[in-house]
Each structure stands twice: as C-alpha cells, then as structure tokens.
Amino acid sequence: MPLSVGALAGVVDELAPFRLACDWDNVGLQIGDPAAEVSRVLLALEADAGAVAAAQRLACGAILTHHPLIFRPLRHLRLDSPQGRLVAQLLRADIALIAAHTNLDRVLHGTNGALASRLALRDVQVLEPAADHHWLKFTVFVPREYTPKIIEAIHRGGGGRIGKYTHCTFRSPGTGTYVPGDDANPFSGTRGRLEQADEDRLEAIVPRQALGALLQEVRQAHPYEEMAYDVYPLANTEPTHGFGAVGTLPSRTTLGRLASQLHEACGAEATAIIGSPGKPVRRVAIATGSGGSFVAQVLPTTGDVLVTGELGYHQACEARDRGLAVICLGHAASEKIFASHFRDLLAAHPTVRAAGLKLEVYLDFPDPLQVVATSARSRRSRH
C-alpha cells in the first residue's frame, strides 16, 4: 500500500517524538500535503540546494532532514533569498519536507546514537536526561464502590499508561464532605444537610493531548452530579530521553587515534582536539552539533573525552583549563551520518516495509570553512 506524507511524518514521530523538541525549535511536516502519496524519500542533514537537486534527480516525493529549513516564522517568501528559492523549488517540484531536529537529538537512536554506533559504544546512556512536560497528573475523588469503574474509564481515555503497563493508578482513602444545594440532585444525601462520604482519591498520569478524552470518559462513568478533580503539570526527568550520549569503547585507545578514527568514519574535513593526543580514553561522551553547553557537565567520572561538532573559543578554553579532552569534527560531519543510521531505523518499521518505501541518503555536506593552511606547530601536535 502506498504511504502518505502524513503517515511518513507519523512514523518519524514514533521513532523521534516531535513533542521532545525544544520549545524554540520547529519540527514536523514543514512543506507539503499530508495526504499526498510518497514512494521515495531522501534523508539529508538539511535541505540545501544540493540536497533538493538530488531529491529531484532521484524522483523523491519527500525529504527528511535534521536541520529545519523553516526555523522561524516567515515574514515574506522572496525568490531573491536562498531560503525563499529553496521553499519555492520544493513547492514547484511537489516535494514535501519533514524536519526532525532536537527531537532527534533527544532519543538515543538519533544523531548521538548514530555516532555511538560508529564507535560501537557499549552500555550507551543519555548524557543529559530531559524533563518531559508531555505528562499531566489527573486526580479524581470517587465513591469507593465506583473506583474500579473509574479506573477503566481512565484507561479508555488514554491515561494510566506507564511503559508496558496499563491501568496504572494510585488510590488513597478519605472522607469527602458536602452540602447539597436546594436545586441539587445528589448521588446520596439530603439537600441542605452536611453529608460525609467514604471516597478514594484516585491518581493517574495522562498524556497532555489525551486530557480531553479522559475527562469525557471519566465524567460519563462518575456517579456524582459535580465531579471533583485536579490536574497537575509534571516535569519528570525521563532517563531514556535527553541530549547527548555516553558509553564505553570496546577497548582502550588514545585521544589521537580516536580522533583519526572518527575523522574517517564521519568524512570530516578538519578534525581538531583539545588535550594530549596520547591521552588514554575508553569512556566517551557525545554531543553532536554544537556541544559547548556540555563542557561544564562532562566530569572525569562522566567520560574521558567529549566528542562534538564544534565549540566556541571560550568554551574550548574552559575545556582545556579543566583538563577535558575534546574532539571537534565539524558541525556537519558530526551530524550528517544520522541519515544512514535513521534510514536503517525507518526501513525496519512495519509501516515503511509494508509500503515498500524507497529510502535514499544524501551525505554531501562539506564544511563551509575550508582549511587552506596550518601552522608547523599544529602539524606537530597531531603526531
């Protein structure tokens, strides 16, 4: 069966949930008709002129990128700007564009996982677990004999799911008090008189987008004329989601040898290190792209080396002064290999397999900064 652009975006959402993206980011379907059918997709770091031309040459109906083409709201769409020309070219060619940016950075099998896979790292974990604001805590007060019925209603509404478990709730007994008004129709008790009821305080988590459906299900099952409930926002840290990755090499090596290995594996054009090339390394922290914010977080107990795309000057100085070994591959080199890695994940998805979707990879993203000369001192430091 053919796959729609919207269904393809749904598969990407399963593998790298769009809800995990940072608030400032722009991910998901950026250009195209979600109902349009697609039979061939190009995976690329970004939708630059070369990637768009490759998609046209290969007759791809969609491009899946890491870097969004439309990052901030467009105030105009002019064909005399590079971005405007690319948007117009995609529209004219009827090529959809889907972006998976910081959401892909926040799953272990995303950009950081691609680099970890190239190094065959073991026991890979998230470097910086992220707070997941996707969840809410729903609390409802219910007559004790109705508790099982309300638990089922919470389940039907999409709540009470934790990992592989359903119907997850917590209850605590208590006493509710109320005075029915003159025009009330109480479940039990007499109008105008203070009443007491044996109740359960029932709690469950619910995805933010499912709250409306859950409230509808619970209201239908609840016996009270006026249902008392609370909703609380949650910011639980999710150990399986977050920026960066850290893992262990199969065997100990040196900073210089690891830098050379990554330089070749990622097709980098200019790889730089901070630290002695002979420093022994085994535990590797990874932050693809711009990893400056991780310099202060990587401790000797965290990893022997931080592998990233680029650092600012002052961040590099801080790493040097703290004795932190760093390998900088270049922004594009550290991330463009995600395309091959994510292609394999997509190819294994049942929806993609059933549709027979063809997956192409575009990796031609040279660093915009070209090295034309190096000092004798820098040449000596590599040996």
Convert the pLDDT of each residue in 169-208 to its tens digit.
999 999 999 999 999 999 999 999 999 999 999 999 999 8
Q: What is the mean pLDDT of residues 291-309?
A: 87
Task: Give the integer Cα–Cα distance in Å for 291 and 330.
Answer: 11
- Express each pLDDT in 33-74 by its tens digit: 999 999 999 999 999 999 999 999 999 999 999 999 999 888
Please give the pLDDT value at position 305.
95
**What would the pLDDT profile of 361-381 be if each residue is shown by its tens digit?**
999 988 888 888 777 665 555
> In angstroms, rounded to a whole number, what is the distance separating the alpha carbons of residues 1 and 14?
19
CA atoms within 13 A on the CB side of 140: 31
User: For 240-262, what is the mean pLDDT?
Assistant: 94
Inter-CA distances, 300 with 174, 187, 304, 371, Å: 50, 63, 6, 32
pLDDT of res. 135: 87
Looking at residue 29, its pLDDT comes to 97
Residue 158: left (phi > 0), alpha (psi -120 to 50), or beta?
left
pLDDT of residue 275: 95
Q: How confident is the model at residue 300 (pLDDT cuts 50, 70, 90)?
A: confident
Chain mean pLDDT for the chain: 92
On the 0-12 / 13-18 / 19+ scale of CB atoms within 10 A, 36 is middle
Give the pLDDT of residue 254: 97
Whether the pLDDT of residue 346 is over 60: the answer is: yes
- Single out the residue of 125, 128, 201 nearest to residue 170, CA to CA: 201
Averaged over 97-107, what is the pLDDT?
96
pLDDT band at 148 (very low <50, low <70, confident <90, very high): very high
Q: pTM for this structure?
A: 0.77
Point out the least confidently predicted range of 215-229, 234-248, 346-360, 369-383: 369-383
**pLDDT (average), residues 130-142:** 87
Helix (H), strand (E) counts: the chain = 13, 17
CA distances to 13, 64, 136, 232 from 22, rounded to whole Å, are 15, 19, 18, 21
Q: So what's the pLDDT on residue 379?
A: 55
What per-residue confidence (pLDDT) applies to 380?
54
Q: Lowest-confidence range among 123-127, 139-143, 240-244, 302-306?
A: 240-244
Tokens of 232: 């609380």
- Measure Cα distances from 35 to 1, 7, 9, 29 in Å: 14, 8, 11, 12
Mean pLDDT for 87-109 is 96
What average pLDDT score do residues 313-328 get?
Answer: 94
The amino acid sitting at 263 is: H
Which of the four pLDDT bands, split at 50, 70 and 90, describes residue 128? Answer: confident
